[in-house]
Structures are given as structure tokens and as C-alpha cells.
Structure 1
Amino acid sequence: MSNKPFILAVNAISGGGKTTIVKELQRKLPKSKALFFDDRNYDSDSGIEDICKWIEEGADVNRFNLDLLAEDIEKLIKENLNYIIMDYPFGYRHKAISKYLDFSIFIDTPLDIALARRIIRDYSTTSIQNVFDDMKQYLIQGRKAYLYGLDEIKEKADYVVDGSKSLDGIVSEIMEKLIHINPAK
């Protein structure tokens, strides 16, 4: 039996709960570490300054330079871990990362819930005008990014969880699934 950690990707649209769920899974899964996509600036580092324009141009996830993420995964693989849990938006779609993944879960969060979470997360200390400006942008272009995640990433996931459930409900469902697909850990 291999000592390689089981690598789980948790995917969702922005505001879908990836970070919160990954942190809770890390807390509950023995010998696990987490990687968070938003800890680095992969979009600007890859020359992708406008996500909506990137989507209009075909949304090729392989334009993102994820060499640093691959290096982080390689480092963690060498550690004595049972799990590497990734807060990662692309599922199996990025060639450089998909080869590492053992399982991909998509958190299917309704758009209204994800948008509300994002507003609370991103604008709790700013003016209401910033919220209005973001909502205008969402209506003009941003919604396309959400729909891309729902259409493209969800389709490739190994398992889909209802993102309108409570945090405990989502995490329990994922834990139960992990027991069935990876009972040795």
C-alpha cells in the first residue's frame, strides 16, 4: 500500500464555501494539511487581470501558471500525511494539477447564497457604494464567472454536495463519502 496522502480538491464558485469547508475538514481529518488557492495571486501572476474577459476568451484554465501550487503539493506529498485537502476552483480541468487529485468534490451552492456570502466576506468594512458597484459589475459580467463554475467545474467533479446545507451537514456528507472511497485512512 502506498504512503502517498489522499488528495482531495474542494471546488465551488466564489462564495460557495470552499475555504470554510476545507478548514473544517482539516480540523476533522487526521494527519491532514490544506492548500488554499487564494493564498497566492495565480490570476495576476499568469497575466489574467480580468476574469470576465478570460471567460469570454474561452476560460482556458491552463493559462493559469500553477507551478507554485504543484510545488506545494509535491512538498506535502513527501510529508507523513493521510490527506491533502485543496481549496481549489478548477477540479480536474488544469492539466498540471489534475494528475495529483484523487477525488474532486463540488459544493453546489445556489448563486444567491454564494453572492450573499461574498458580499458579507468582502464588504463588511467598506461603504455601501462599493457593494452597489460590485453588484452592477456582477449583473454586467460577473454572473458569467459563476455560471462557468456551475457548468464546467461541477460537470467534471467526482461528487456534488448541496451547498445550501449547513456547514456540519456538508462536512458530514463529505466525511461519509471519504470513508467509502478511502477506508484505509
Structure 2
Amino acid sequence: MYRTPLDKKVRHVQSALNALSAAHLVELVPGNKRRVYDGFRLLDERAGLNREGSALLPYATPDSEDSCLALPASFINEGWIHVLEDSEIVLLMMVACGIGNLETLPQVAIPSRVRLLKYGIGRDSYSTAHPMLAQFGLLEVEEIGRQDDGRVLGYGDDDGAAHVHRLRLMDDAFEKPARETVTKAIKDALDRS
């Protein structure tokens, strides 16, 4: 059965809308099967999912008083969203959000417990994502209280807050084309090894 490229795109969008509906992130128009995807409504992902009997709420754009994270528009425009791993994107969002931070912006220092509970970033994801983001120039990482091999100095002597990496987004680096930047960084790393 032959399908045109437009038919394939429509099926792809419909499939995505069905998945978002199942996750309670959009509300589809009930009734007419042919028009079920017309006029869908975005839903607030924080409302009602974990409370039985509570209603889902429509999504509303944040106003100036609402806290929200901000990544540079070039994160999308220069293709970074397509070349970064999911763990790297989550780490960038964590730094942009900064909940659980020990410091004041522009640097953040988020303890591992907060990183895991609030953002779902475990040790393995973190330890592979932050060096790559630093290598791409997107993240500045200042290691605190570490030996040259990365081990913590005086591990277990205090609450650990003194040993948390200081992280800062490098907004200007997002202006570089992602594919070329990542390709060059990987080639340079391979040449060094």
C-alpha cells in the first residue's frame, strides 16, 4: 500500500498526539473520529496525575512571576537538541533550573542527593555527561576539593557540600553549530588518546 510523504507525516503527528494523550499531556477532542486531532488542548503536566479524583488542568504559559528555566534559543536553532544525549540535555536543564543549589547563580553546586531526587541524574549519567558538555564548551565545570585523579580530598569528613562541582552554563557556546562542534571535540579527544 503506497503512502505519500504527507500521509506519513500526518500518521507520525497523530501517533505522537496519541502518546501524549496517554501520558495526560494533551487532551484530544472526543467524539468524531475524523476530527479527534483537531483542536487538541495541552495539559499541565503537574496537575492531577498523582492525586486520585483530581482533574487535569489546561496548560498555561508561565507569567513573569513563575519560576522557569531558560536555555538559549540557539539550543534549538543551532541543533544542540539533536546531537546531545538525553543525560546531557537533562544536566543542562538542571543547571539552568538550579533547584537545590548551594550557591548563587551563575554558578550552581547541586549535591548528589538533590541531583538524584529532584532531577533523576545518577552518578553514572552525571560522570559521563558533565565532562562531555565541558568538552563541547557548553558547561564550565569547577572541581572543588579533588585530587588530580578526581578522588575527593577528605571524603567523609563533612557533609560533602564542600566537594560539590560548581557548574555554569556557557550561553555563548550554544551559538556555535552543534554538529560541527561535537564532531571536532570528538576528533580532538580521539587524537589525544
**TM-score, structure 1 as length reference:** 0.24
| Structure with more strand by fraction | 1
Q: Which has the higher contact order (CA 8 A, sep 6+)?
A: 1
**TM-score, structure 2 as length reference:** 0.24
Larger CA Rg, structure 1 vs 2: 2
| Structure with more helix by fraction | 1
